[in-house]
Amino acid sequence: MAQGQEIEAPSKVILIGGSAGSLSVLLVVLPLLSERINAAVVLVMHRHTRSEDLLEALLASRASLPVRDIEDKDQPQRGIIYTAPADYHLLFEPDGSFALDSSEKVNYSRPSIDVTFESAARVFGTRAIGVLLSGANADGAEGLYEIEQHGGITIVQHPETAEVDYMPRSALQLFSPSYIARPGEIAPLLVRLASDISAARD
Amino acid sequence: MQIELTEDQLDTLIDDVQREYGYDFGDYARASLHRRIARLMTVDRFVSFAELRYRINSDKDYLSRLIDMVSVNVTEMFRDPSFYAALRTQIFPVLATYPLIRIWHAGCASGEEVYSMAILLKESKLLDKSIIYATDINPTALSVARAGIYPLAQMQKYSENYVAAGGAEDFSRYYTAQYDMVKMDTALTKRIVYATHNLATDSSFNEFQLIICRNVLIYFNQTLQDRVFHLFDDSLEGLGFIGLGSKESIRFSTVAASYQQVAGKDKIWRKGKK
């Protein structure tokens, strides 16, 4: 369905979800993600509607990869960090393109991490890597489990390192993820899992 | 927990609804449609897909429930205030030069954004020479729009949006409150015409200088989006404007070459001369 431009589909799609206390983790992780990763990175953060531009500007100032807003039906591209817009759920169409949806909140949240993770699990299967960070809400736990069940890789921030451990603990109560990682370990792990050369080892 | 809905089952349902009732959801954005139907099954407590299918095929009244669920009706007054500020400052001065201003608000749901438009027009002294055609696929939502009755609890947020959009009046002058509901001022409604219209199947019905269609196209795949852009193009005068939702764009459409984005990041495009 994607028309026109030729784009290289990333081999992996990294989905990072977080709420309260996750921004400081992102500021550790994002600077370490480089061109080496053959993946698109998608951030789903609980946020206030009006703070949109500020968050993007902050992330862009720290990340080494370009940070981009999502527009409806964009195709995720390799080496780009995308942020889910405030006040929309973020889904994926069967061809992998982004689709937005402003229907009712899920887990008191829009965007809801569960909604994006579940959609990514269905569309990307084993190509999905889900990461769940600090947060004061159970959103994301079920979705991460869906990624696991569809053969994707799952990473939960170590609860002892989380400013608010409710979100990671909710995931750990539900299932055993592929990895439990401290903030400093997350980026090297993602690079290892998603780079062209070494991915095959896992 | 949701009952699993397979892609094949979803296709079956789309076919049923098309054949029995003439509503075509085949080119709706798949991911969202899947969520809506799965949610319908959860909320209405269907224990299996077969049960849902039987209900839809045997109960004509249930179709409106399905349409209500599939056509997302989440909206608010002055949603994305900067969009309305841009309309007021950049688009209205152009529209003001026309003797009669024809506006099509496509996919207006329960009408909150139609009232927002009417308020803007009134404050710019353009309402009396404007006609707003407000259409939606969903008759239930349209009847809410027509009644103009909304929860009082929402008004605080709408009032903030209104101020952020550059509104200078006291927002409460546009409605009267009774218990926990408000009724919009009927002076706003006299230039609004409501009608059902299905963007997936119906055709152009007039020519306009401004078409508003916000957060509707996100629910369509690119095939249907392109159909709708051609429909809008056929319904828009030369030098007319199209206003979309904050994350929507005309750029994937085959009519894109005839349009230029007006200014800034607000999603307003202007058509070239015909």
What's the average model confidence in pLDDT over B6-33? 95
Same domain, residue pair B29 and B131 = no
Strand order in the sheet with B181-184: B149-151, B181-184, B175-178
Q: What are the distances in angstroms from CA A58 to CA A70, A83, A88, B246? A: 16, 12, 21, 21
Q: Are residues B19 and B85 in the same domain?
A: no
Q: Are residues B182 and B103 located together in one domain of the fold?
A: yes
Whole-number percent of chain A with pLDDT over 70: 90
Q: Which of B70, B89, B112 lies at the terminal end of a domain, its last residue? A: B70
Average pLDDT over residues A1-13: 65
Q: Can you give the pLDDT at residue B3?
A: 66
pLDDT of A2 strictly over 80: no
Residues A112, A114, A119, A139: which is the catalytic one?
Answer: A139
**Which DSSP helix (H) or strand (E) runs through A23?**
helix A23-29
Are residues A88 and B219, on separate chains, in Cβ contact within 8 Å? no
A46 is annotated as an active-site residue: yes
Helices A141-149 and A166-174, axial angle in degrees (round to 10): 40
Average pLDDT over residues B96-107: 98
Average pLDDT over residues A169-181: 98
Task: Kindly report, residue by residue over A93-148, the tens digit of the pLDDT.
Answer: 999 999 999 988 999 999 999 999 999 999 999 999 999 999 999 999 999 999 99
Inspect the interface and report whether the beta carbons of A3 and B222 lie closer than 8 Å.
yes
Phi then psi dihedrals of residue A17, to 5 deg: -115, 140
Structural domain range at position A65:
12-196
Q: What pLDDT score was predicted for residue A50?
A: 62
| B143 plus B28 within the same structural domain | no
Residues B179 and B124 in one domain: yes
Total residues belonging to chain A:
202
For residues B36 and B99, membership in a common domain is answered with no
* Residues B224 and B267 reside in one and the same domain: yes
Domain holding B157, by residue range, is: 81-271
Chain B residues with beta carbon closer than 8 angstroms to that of A3: 222, 252
- Does A191 map to a domain? yes
CB distance A72–B36 less than 8 Å?
Answer: no
User: Do B17 and B114 lie in a common domain?
Assistant: no
Residue A183 lies in a domain: yes
Cα–Cα dist A186/A181, whole Å: 6
Per-residue model confidence (pLDDT) at position A49: 63
Q: The CATH number of the domain where A81 resides is what? A: 3.40.50.180
Query: What are the distances in angstroms from CA A17 to CA A44, A74, A111, B131, B189?
Result: 5, 20, 10, 45, 44
What is the distance between the alpha carbons of residues B240 and B269, in angstroms, rounded to a whole number?
A: 8
Together in a domain, B94 and B208: yes
Q: Which of B260, B193, B203 is nearest to B228 (CA)?
A: B203
Q: Flag whether A3 is in a domain.
A: no
Q: Are strands A128-132 and B236-244 parallel, antiparallel or unpaired?
A: unpaired
Structural domain includes residue A7: no
Residue B1 within any structural domain of the chain: no
Distance CA B262, CA B260 (A): 6
Q: Is residue A5 in a domain?
A: no
Q: What is the mean pLDDT of chain B?
A: 94
**pLDDT-based confidence at residue A29 (cuts at 50, 70, 90):** very high
Q: Does A71 touch chain B (CB under 8 A)?
A: yes
Tell me, yes or no, if B221 comes closer than 8 A to chain A by beta carbon: yes
The type of residue at A191 is V
pLDDT of residue B1: 47
Q: Tokens 């001065």 map to which residue?
A: B93
Please indicate whether, in this complex, the C-beta atoms of B221 and A93 are within 8 angstroms of each other. Answer: yes
Q: What is the pLDDT of residues B148-205, one digit of tens each?
A: 999 999 999 999 999 999 998 999 999 999 999 999 999 999 999 999 999 999 999 9
**How far B222 CA sits from the closest chain A CA (Å)?**
7
| Cα of B50 to nearest chain A Cα, Å | 22
- Which of B43, B70, B97 lies at the terminal end of a domain, its last residue? B70
CA B269, distance to chain mean position in Å, is: 17
Whether A6 is covered by a domain: the verdict is no
The yes-or-no verdict on residue A167 having pLDDT over 50 is yes
A202 within some domain: no
Of A102, A117, A113, A104, the residue nearest A46 (C-alpha) = A113
CA B67/CA A184 separation, integer angstroms: 48
Cβ of B72 and A102 within 8 Å?
Answer: yes
| Sequence-ordered alpha helix ranges (H) in chain B | 7-21, 30-43, 49-58, 62-70, 81-86, 92-95, 112-123, 139-147, 155-164, 222-234
Report the alpha-carbon distance of residue B73 to residue A101 in Å, rounded.
Answer: 11
- Quote the number of domains for chain A: 1
Q: In this structure, is residue B75 part of a structural domain?
A: no
CA distance B59 to B251: 41
Q: What is the pLDDT of residue B273?
A: 87
Q: What is the pLDDT of residues A34-66, one digit of tens each?
A: 988 999 999 999 976 665 678 888 999 999 999
Assess whether pLDDT exceeds 50 at residue B41. Answer: yes
pLDDT of residue B2: 56
Q: Which of A201, A197, A190 is nearest to A16 (CA)?
A: A190
What does the pLDDT read at residue A1?
Answer: 41
What average pLDDT does this structure show over B43-66?
94
Mutate to test the interface with B, among A5, A7, A102 (most CBs of B within 10 A): A102
Contact residues, chain B, for A115 at CB < 8 Å: 35
Let me know whether B15 and B115 are in one domain.
no
Question: H/E/C letters for each residue in B166-205?
Answer: CCCCCHHHHEEEECCEEEECHHHHHHEEEEECCCCCCCCC
Task: Label the pairing between strands B130-136 and B192-196.
Answer: parallel
Segment A80-94, tens digit of pLDDT: 999 999 999 999 999
CB contact under 8 A, B219 and A101: yes
ipTM for this model? 0.89
Q: Identify the pLDDT of residue A6.
A: 52
Residue B111 pLDDT class (50, 70, 90 cuts):
very high
pLDDT at position A52: 60
Q: How far is B98 from chain A, CA to nearest CA, in Å?
A: 33
Q: Is residue B203 part of a domain?
A: yes
B109 and B14, same domain (yes or no):
no
In this complex, is the C-beta atom of A32 within 8 Å of any C-beta atom belonging to chain B? no
Per the DSSP assignment, residues forming a β-bridge with A43 are A16, A83
Report the distance separating Cα B37 and Cα B57, nearest Å. Answer: 15
Of the three residues B25, B47, B70, the one that is the final residue of a domain is B70
Q: How many domains does chain B have?
A: 2
Q: Is residue A54 part of a domain?
A: yes
Q: Measure in Å the smallest separation between the Cα of B175 and chain A Cα atoms.
A: 26
B223 touches A: beta carbon within 8 Å: yes
User: Would residue B2 count as lying in a domain?
Assistant: no
Distance CA A168, CA A164 (A): 9
Amino acid at B26: G
Residue type (1 letter), A172: L
Please report, for the domain that includes residue B108, its CATH number: 3.40.50.150
Does residue B76 lie within any of the structural domains? no
Supply the pLDDT for residue B48: 93
